[in-house]
Amino acid sequence: METPDNLINEAAKIYKVLSNATRIKILYFLRYQENDVQVSEIVTQLGIAQPVVSKQLGILRRYQLVRNRKEGNKVFYILDDPHVVEMIDDMLNHVKHEIKGLPYPKNLY
């Protein structure tokens, strides 16, 4: 079955967004939060400068990986697509597998 080019192009854009370690750290942080969190909490917990966090959150929001809400001058964020973090989990498992030098399972599909 052939996948339409437009879907492949969109997938490539998402992979490009996920190629940034800071964005992955933000996604993982949000994954384990029960409620939406303020930008300042992300900054404090991850030890990343506020302008950097805000810029990366903007990119993640543009690609619908996080969503936000405003209360006055405070902005809160929450993970919008948990499937993306599962995809990152799969990649991290791949990396762990590579580091250990283990053979790949033959029955993946």
pLDDT at 83 over 60: yes
pLDDT at 63 over 80: yes
- Spatial CA neighbour of 19 closest among 51, 50, 49, 63: 63
Structure tokens at 4: 């339409």
Question: Are 90 and 84 contacting, i.e. CB atoms less than 8 angstroms apart?
Answer: no
Categorize the per-residue pLDDT at 38 as very low, low, confident or very high, splitting at 50, 70 and 90: very high
Predicted TM-score (pTM) of this structure: 0.83
Percent of the chain with pLDDT over 90: 60
Residues 6+ apart with CB under 8 A from 63: 13, 14, 17
Q: Tell me how many degrees the CA angle 36-25-61 measures, rounded to the nearest 5.
A: 55
pLDDT at 81 over 80: yes
